[in-house]
Amino acid sequence: MAEIQLKNISKSYGDTKVIKDLDFSIVDGEFITVVGPSGCGKSTLLRIIAGLESQSSGDVFINGREVNKVRASERDLAMVFQSYALYPHLSVQQNLMVPLKLRRLSSLERFPLLNWFLPNRRARLNDLNEKVLEAAETLQITHLLGRKPGQLSGGQQQRVAVGRAMVREPVAFLMDEPLSNLDAALRVHMRAEISELHRKLKTTFVYVTHDQAEALTMSDRMAVMMDGEILQLDTPTEIYNNPLNLQVAEFIGSPKINVLPAESDDYGQITCMGLSMSLPLKTPNKESILLGLRPEHTELLAPKSKNCFVGEIKYKENLGPDIYLHLILNEGQHKMIVRSEPGKALDVNIGDTVKIGWKEDKIMAFEKNGKSLPLKNQS
C-alpha cells in the first residue's frame, strides 16, 4: 500500500560515508530485498527509511509525500528487528497490543484511571483485542498469547515480532535481518512463511539481509549493496544470470563463482588457459579479461575427454545431493570449484587429476576492473 522513493540519499558519520548517493524507488506491494555483506550500509538505509536515523542529504518519499522531517512514529511503517525487540515485561498479547493502543487510542483514553470513566472504552478495547487475536491466528501464536517473550523460543519470538508489525496494518513492512538469529532449518521454514504473508497482505516489504539465499528465494526484486552503493537492482533471476559486474557475480551464488584469466582477440574470440570458448564477445576487447564460470555450470568429464580444464583435487565436499570438488589448475596458480553429481564423483579422490567441462552458454566475461562484458548471444 505504499510506494517508497529514495532520492540522492547520503549518510556519513564524520568522515566515513556509509551511504553514497542512493537513488531508487520501491513499487507499491513489492517485496524488495537489500542484500550485501555486513557493514555495507544496508541496515542504515532501512533505518533512514524508517526514520530512526536521519540522512545527511537527499529525500525520502512515502506515497509521494516527502517525509524528511516526519518522525518515525508518524511514518506509519512497521519494522521487525534482528533482535525482535519485544518488550520483555509484557505478555505476547500485551506486546501485540502496544502499537494498537499507542496509535488507535487518544492520550486521554490511555490515561491511567481516568480512562475508566470514558464511554465506549470497553468496546474500543474489544475491537483492538479482536485485531490482536486475528493476527495471532494468522501467525498461529494464539496459544502463546499469555506468555512472556522470555518463555518463547527464537522462532516463536520472531513470529510475535512479525505479529506486532502486522496488527496495525502499516503501509509498509521493514525487516532488518529478521531470520539471522534462527537455526538453519527454521530459517528455511520462516522464509516460506514470510513470502506467504507477503502474498496474503499484498503490502510493500523492504527486507534487509546478508544472506543471498533469502534474497534469491523471497524477493520480487533485489538490490545488491556494497560499500554504500547499490550495484544492481533487478529480479533475482536477472541478477544471478546477468550480474552487472564481478562483485555482484561473486556475492550472489554459492559456492562463489570461479574467476579465471582469459584473453580476447580482434574478433572477440575468448581464450582461457589455452581453451577457446565458442561464444565471442559482442564488442572485441583487446586487453586481458576475466572469465566467470559458476560451479554449477561445470561438470566432471571422462578421463579421455579433450578440450577441457585439467586440475588436481585438493578437497572434496559432500553435501548429499551434490559434491563440490575444489581443484587447483596450472600447478596451483588458479583455483576452481566444480559441482558434480555424487554418482560421477564416487571414484575420484583427493590428489587425483580430473578433466572438467563447462556449459558454453553460461560463461560470463568481465573487464579487468570488474565491469561485465556482454557475449554475442546475450542481450
Count the site residues for another protein by CB under 8 A.
28
Could you give the 3-state DSSP secondary structure of residue 360? helix
Identify which range of 21-29, 56-64, 66-74, 343-351 contacts another protein by CB under 8 A: 66-74
Q: How far is the CB of 168 from another protein (least distance, A)?
A: 8
Crossing angle, helix 121-138 and helix 154-166, to 10 degrees?
Answer: 130
Q: Give 161 or 363: the residue with its C-beta nearer to another protein.
A: 161
Q: How far is the CB of 153 from another protein (least distance, A)?
A: 13
Report residue 321 as a C-alpha cell. Answer: 545431493
Q: Give 53 or 238: the residue with its C-beta nearer to another protein.
A: 53
Nearest Cα residue to 179 out of 34, 38, 81: 81
Nearest Cα residue to 182 out of 153, 160, 139, 212: 153
Amino acid at 160: V
Strands 288-293 and 364-366, sheet pairing: antiparallel
Residue 363 interacts with another protein (CB under 8 A): yes or no:
no
Report residue 138 as a C-alpha cell. Answer: 494468522
Instruction: Work out the number of other CB atoms within 10 angstroms of the CB of residue 3.
Output: 17
Residue 114 interacts with another protein (CB under 8 A): yes or no:
no
Could you give the 3-state DSSP secondary structure of residue 145? coil
- Judged by CB under 8 A, the residue of 150, 274, 320, 332 near another protein is 150
Name which of residues 81 to 110 contact another protein (CB under 8 A).
81-83, 85-89, 98-99, 102-103
Residue 148 interacts with another protein (CB under 8 A): yes or no:
yes
In the chain, which ranges are continuous DSSP H helix?
42-50, 92-104, 121-138, 154-166, 184-201, 212-218, 236-241, 246-251
Residue 164 interacts with another protein (CB under 8 A): yes or no:
yes
Q: What is the DSSP letter of 75?
A: S
Q: Give 92 or 272: the residue with its C-beta nearer to another protein.
A: 92
Q: Give 98 or 188: the residue with its C-beta nearer to another protein.
A: 98
Q: How far is the CB of 166 from another protein (least distance, A)?
A: 12
Q: How far is the CB of 248 from another protein (least distance, A)?
A: 30
Residue ranges binding another protein (CB under 8 A)? 47, 50-52, 71-74, 77-79, 81-83, 85-89, 98-99, 102-103, 148-150, 164, 168
